[in-house]
Amino acid sequence: MLLRLFSADYLKLITPRAAMAGVGALLLCLLVGPRVIAWLRRRKLGERTEKGDSRRLDDIMRAKKDTPTMGGLFLSAAVLLAMGLFANTSNRVVPILVSAVVALCALGAVDDWMKLSGRRRTGMPAYLKLLGQCVIGYSAGCWLFVALLRTDPGQASRLHVPLMGTMDLGIAYPLFVMLVTVASSNAVNITDGLDGLAGGCLAISFFAFAMIAYAVGRVDFSGYLGVPYVRASAEVSVFCAAALGATLGFLWFNSHPAQVFMGDSGSLPMGGALGLAACATKQEFLLALVGGVFVVEAGSSLAQILWFKATGRRLFRIAPLHHHYQFGGVPETKIVTRFWIGAAVLAVASLATLKLR
């Protein structure tokens, strides 16, 4: 039995490689995390809680002042190292996911560094950061479109809308991928405001997409469920498992009271990678359910802005939604736990709806 577990043929299978990628990323985070946190402390790269949006919010968040930020560096590094060790790099989708994580992590790290070093209190100008995200998202969309044309030509530009059928976007598909990637990236960034909130919801979402990618990448499972078979997406399950392990490892240090925050160097690449995973598995619309917490958080901020412009009044005490509950006196740990429960329920619901086509 032991010989079979360590045989070359067995290690070529998706399931053991996904498991090893998840465990490997978890252990890498646990090993590297304390060293990165210590380095961030020495460099005095700590959170500045005075955002200027609300004096009351500044008072609530004051206890988090000087907590090291940019923990996304070791989170992203753990995912990349696990993929290098256990992923099948000949799969055309793998370099797309890896490159997107690297590019978005670099963009987020620059933004974090500008804020924390004092060069620019608000970080990179919003339009410049959005432009960078759009360039990365569109490049990934073009790359994915070409990759799918070679491995799954029937699915390359097709969207599968639950209960409505399919539509073909043709050469406009990369633009759609860009929109999904940028929206997912920013939604996770908005959610990253309380200890463990974004990390826990990301772990649940990546677990769901690991299951989805495994099913979509198998002829028998996809045929039974009635979802499109995408041969190239099988390796996405390894990536999602690596991201799951890394986010769990990050939560070891980010749970309340947090020893380190994710920062844009973590929220941007992990959010963007989640969106790309949805596109690579041709389950783009299911992302709205799997990442429902992120949708609600981003939606609350957008609704607050639109409502205030239309009426001159606030729809929520403050946005995003997790701060609204803080202003209502709900303890931080209870808010985070309840959001995790909501994310778990939505993830289970998303897996249950795979058969509804």
Task: Report residue 128 as tokens.
Answer: 């410049």
Residue 7 lies in a domain: no
**Helix/strand number for the chain, H first, E second:** 16, 2
For 141-167, what is the mean pLDDT? Answer: 86
- Report the percent of the chain where pLDDT is more than 90: 66
Residue 1, pLDDT above cutoff 50: no
Q: What is the pLDDT of residues 94-148, one digit of tens each?
A: 999 999 999 999 999 999 998 887 777 777 888 999 999 999 999 999 999 999 9
The whole-number pLDDT of residue 56 equals 80
Res. 201 pLDDT band, cuts 50 70 90: very high
Q: Where are the beta strands (DSSP E) in the chain?
A: 158-161, 165-168
Residue 57 lies in a domain: yes
Res. 58 pLDDT band, cuts 50 70 90: confident
Separation between Cα atoms, residue 271 and residue 280, nearest integer Å = 14
Residue 331 lies in a domain: no
CA 65 to each of CA 37, 58, 74, 83: distance values in angstroms, whole numbers, following the listed order: 15, 10, 21, 34
- Sequence-separated (6 or more) residues with CB below 8 Å from residue 57: 51, 318, 323, 326, 327
For 148-177, what is the mean pLDDT? Answer: 86
For 169-195, what is the mean pLDDT? Answer: 95
Q: State the residue for tokens 């403050």.
A: 318
Task: Report residue 92 as tokens.
Answer: 């055309």
Q: What is the pLDDT of residues 294-344, one digit of tens each?
A: 999 999 999 999 999 999 899 999 889 999 999 999 999 999 999 999 999
Residue 252, pLDDT above cutoff 80: yes
Task: Report residue 91 as tokens.
Answer: 């799969």
**Is the CB of residue 281 less than 8 Å from the CB of residue 212?**
yes
pTM above 0.75, yes or no: yes
Task: Report residue 188 as tokens.
Answer: 């996770």
Separation between Cα atoms, residue 222 and residue 212, nearest integer Å = 9
Residue 239 lies in a domain: yes
Range of the domain at 212: 14-285
Residue 323 lies in a domain: no
Residue 356, pLDDT above cutoff 70: no
- Sequence-separated (6 or more) residues with CB below 8 Å from residue 88: 17, 94, 235, 238
- Sequence-separated (6 or more) residues with CB below 8 Å from residue 193: 320, 322, 323
Residue 212 lies in a domain: yes
Separation between Cα atoms, residue 353 and residue 331, nearest integer Å = 33
Tell me how crowded residue 198 is: count the other CB atoms within 10 A of its CB: 32
Q: Of 163-177, 180-194, 222-236, which has the strongest mean pLDDT?
A: 180-194
The whole-number pLDDT of residue 82 equals 96
Angle, nearest 10°, between helix axes 72-86 and 94-116? Answer: 160
Number of domains in the chain: 1
Q: Is 212 helix (H, G, I), strand (E, B) or coil?
A: helix
- Report the percent of the chain where pLDDT is more than 70: 94
For 192-216, what is the mean pLDDT? Answer: 95
The whole-number pLDDT of residue 3 equals 43
